[in-house]
Structure 1
Amino acid sequence: MMTTFKKTIGAIALAGVSIVAVAAGVQAAEKRPTELAPLGEPPAPPDNPTTPEKVELGKLLFFDPRLSGNSAMPCSACHLPELGWDFPDKISLGYPGTTHWRNSPTIVNTAYYGNYFWTGVSKSLEAEARTAARGGVAGNGEDDMMEARLAFIPEYRKRFNEVFGTEYPSIRDAYMAIAAFERSLVQRDTPFDKYMLGDDKALTKQQKRGMELFTGKAECSTCHNGALVTDQKYYNLGVPGYDGWETDELAQITFRFELLAKGSTEEKYRKWKDDPGLYFVTKEKADLGKFRVPSLRYTKYTAPYMHNGMLETLEDVVEFYNQGGGTNEFSKNKTKLLKPLGLSKKEKADLVAFVESFTGERLLMETPELPEYAPLPAVTN
């Protein structure tokens, strides 16, 4: 009996657990998944350091419709704060007279991405702001026109001078300010983050069961890993093509416009009925139908899901993966990582509950009061 007791005490000591703690009924901290991590401080590039004044200027510009072709399409038109900082429809809002052709991702936590848009065409938030403001079915703006408008706004001349040291606003600096503002939209206090930082009670029992599925049977962490919960790689999952292209004439026109603008042969222009995705960037057939893995953070408020919004709820997303993905025009490129999972109804509910733990309270923001135009000061000799 005494020998058995000594072996037990020795095993506890080797495990790094205090004998006093065991005697007091205190349990060791729960084991955290190594595939995932809490978010750290958001990065800021050396050529665009973050300052409070720059963020405040970027906030004004983010909500200002004058940074668009028709002075009516601000960044916030497609990234609505009260609706997840994205657009609540399958396809994002398009420039007046057009429609968009892809789902609008949230900009919450985009500070941590290494590339932007569904196919990674922009490599920084500064480039993303410029691409969105000038996109034919997005802001449709021209740099010189937008810059001229800023010059006629005294408040902007003052703020740009204070932040960038220029006499008149530069459109390049405007994109820098918008990027700085977007980097400030960070959420690091989710139940998941609190749990990963040591709070065992931050997740419910259901969410902990879901976490085990996420990193185990469901194999979600194969692609959704790290602090941002994405490997930022590109896959074809077999997501069905956008159904609006079957019935919406304007959506059909936009789709053909994008095929032509991004470089398609006449044969492909006439034949393709689905979004070629990463192919537009690489022109490699192996990349047809591939899109970047998005972060799962803040997704509780960003329905619908996938690059074309074809999955309406998080429950639909889990069921999609449970079935081993889907099929589309480019399914021969579908990733071999997907296979039927055989999840029960209870397991699927547990998984959804865990995914929701990557989201905290809504990040809300009122539209700021925008500065007014005024005549330029007279030139004096």
Structure 2
Amino acid sequence: MRKMKFAPTLVAAAVSTVLLVGNTALAGKQDATKSEQAGPAPLAPLGPPPIPPDNLQSDAKAELGKILFFDPRIGGDASTACSSCHEPEQGWAWSEDLSRGYPGTVHWRNSQTIVNSAYYGRGFWAGSVPSLEKQAPAAAKGGVAGNGEDDIMEARLALIPEYRKRFKEVFGTQWPLIQDVWRAMAAYERTLVQRDTPLDKYLQGDQAALSEEQVRGKALFEGKAGCIQCHNGALASDQDYHNIGVPANKRWEEDGLAQITFRFEQYAKGQTEEGYRTAKSDWGFYYRSKNKWDKGKFRTPSLRYTAHTAPYMHNGILYTLEDVVEFYDRGGFDEEGRTTQFAENKSKLIKPLGLTDEEKADLVAFLESFSGDPITTEKPVLPEYAPLFTRAELEAAQEAK
């Protein structure tokens, strides 16, 4: 076998790269340690959402995105719109344990609200996309969600005069392009924010915005209950990934479609052969990192707007805020004493709290202060198809030849 020879400069470059990666990782760990020593970020009023420089906001773009959000033609068989799983009347989410699936399927995770989703650094429960512009196609084209195909969706849009007109006005293109669909939808979702909650008003100086019960709950949240360790800052989320002990949804043991979806997702996400055959629960962040210590970890969801978004957790097994508080008070166990399949990865932050009934009630009252009135909207009238050319135009084109 011939020996491979490498130029000294390439070897040096490789060594430098390894050292750089190692030093970066070390710096990240040091920064994390400093952050832990400094304590969690305090709760704060929510500011305006960040706007990416390559997809600036405009009223026309957001209005186009709204129509597309409610249009089931942005999907596989023209039956499932984004709003099918993110219903305004259901907290801009879906009020069952597992989200609706594409016809003939069922989803495998709880539908998260899109209210305030503009503030997340990464989307979905396991942080699999870096922006709203990437989140939209991942959902619209997902096998158990929208199941759409780019060329089919573009062809439909081209046959709708109102869309041709709007896309040209907003993006300057002769025909609607699928990448601009996602940009418009992202612009619309950045308008779905709630920044005037009782908690925001209280943090801005209105001492009457919270009841005495909620003020006591805030003290518990920041103290004895320890909620602020993960639900901190203006978004009430550290945007990190934790295993908090949520047990598997029993629906996977009883629902045939859910079982099929579960196995499909294991395969689609690059599960190992052993994992595919033995998995009894959603492995969460592991599907991205493939590190065994990340099994069962999910992104900390924001507590904002949660009064309208039951049920809770990635698999929707907790149906009320009272259930959530009870779950944490037990130390991450359900009523049957079950915890996640990966108890060895369970966060050390999750432990029995010893809350009294009054303290639980105060904490629930405070959690409700993260939400204002429900955000409502008038659903748009969807534009209709029309031929690309009239008979007269086609005849004129033939004569011109």
**Residue aligning to 1:13:** none
Task: Determine if the alignment matches structure 1 residue 205 to structure 2 residue 212.
Answer: yes
**Residue aligning to 2:264:** 257
**Residue aligning to 1:111:** 118
2:174 and 2:287 mapped to 1: Cα distance? 40
Task: Determine if the alignment matches structure 1 residue 351 to structure 2 residue 358.
Answer: no
Q: Return the offset for 1:266.
A: 2.0
SS in 1 for 2:180: helix
Contact 1:114–1:123 (CA<8 Å) still a contact in 2?
Answer: yes
- Select which of 317, 320, 329 maps to 1:322: 329
Letter in 2 for 1:250: L
- 1:76-155 counterparts in 2 under 5 A? 76-155=83-162
| 1:3-51 deviation line (CA, Å, top 9, x unaligned) | xxxxxxxxxxxxxxxxxxxxxxxxxxxxxx9710000011110000000
Letter in 1 for 2:296: G
Letter in 1 for 2:355: L
SS in 1 for 2:208: coil
1:304 and 1:169 mapped to 2: Cα distance? 37
2:49 and 2:274 mapped to 1: Cα distance? 45
Q: Percent identity?
A: 64
Contact 1:55–1:181 (CA<8 Å) still a contact in 2?
Answer: yes
Task: Count matched residues.
Answer: 349
**Residue aligning to 2:34:** none
SS in 1 for 2:209: coil
Task: Determine if the alignment matches structure 1 residue 55 to structure 2 residue 67.
Answer: no
- Select which of 74, 77, 80 maps to 1:70: 77
| 1:94-139 deviation line (CA, Å, top 9, x unaligned) | 0001100000000000111100000000100000001000000000
1:366 and 1:91 mapped to 2: Cα distance? 26
| 1:59-95 deviation line (CA, Å, top 9, x unaligned) | 0000000000000100000000011000010000000
**Residue aligning to 2:382:** 370
1:181 and 1:165 mapped to 2: Cα distance? 18
Contact 1:92–1:100 (CA<8 Å) still a contact in 2?
Answer: yes
TM-score by length of 1: 0.90
TM-score by length of 2: 0.86
**Residue aligning to 2:232:** 225
**Residue aligning to 1:335:** 347
Over the aligned positions, Cα root-mean-square deviation in angstroms equals 1.1
Contact 1:82–1:365 (CA<8 Å) still a contact in 2?
Answer: no
**Residue aligning to 1:17:** none
1:34 and 1:113 mapped to 2: Cα distance? 16
Q: From the superposition, tell whether residues 205 and 34 of structure 1 become closer, same or farther in structure 2 (CA, over 3 Å).
A: farther
- 1:273-284 counterparts in 2 under 5 A? 273-284=280-291
Unmatched runs of 5 consecutive residues or more in structure 1:
1-32
Letter in 1 for 2:149: E
Contact 2:41–2:232 (CA<8 Å) still a contact in 1?
Answer: no
Unmatched runs of 5 consecutive residues or more in structure 2:
1-39, 334-338
**Residue aligning to 1:18:** none
1:66 and 1:83 mapped to 2: Cα distance? 22
- Structure 1 segments (4+ residues) deviating >3 Å: 378-381
1:238 and 1:186 mapped to 2: Cα distance? 30
1:207 and 1:44 mapped to 2: Cα distance? 33
Q: From the superposition, tell whether residues 167 and 269 of structure 1 become closer, same or farther in structure 2 (CA, over 3 Å).
A: same
Contact 1:54–1:163 (CA<8 Å) still a contact in 2?
Answer: yes
SS in 2 for 1:177: helix
2:52 and 2:62 mapped to 1: Cα distance? 14
1:129 and 1:205 mapped to 2: Cα distance? 41
Contact 2:105–2:257 (CA<8 Å) still a contact in 1?
Answer: yes
SS in 2 for 1:108: coil
Contact 2:248–2:281 (CA<8 Å) still a contact in 1?
Answer: yes
**Residue aligning to 1:9:** none
1:306 and 1:201 mapped to 2: Cα distance? 31
Contact 2:311–2:320 (CA<8 Å) still a contact in 1?
Answer: yes
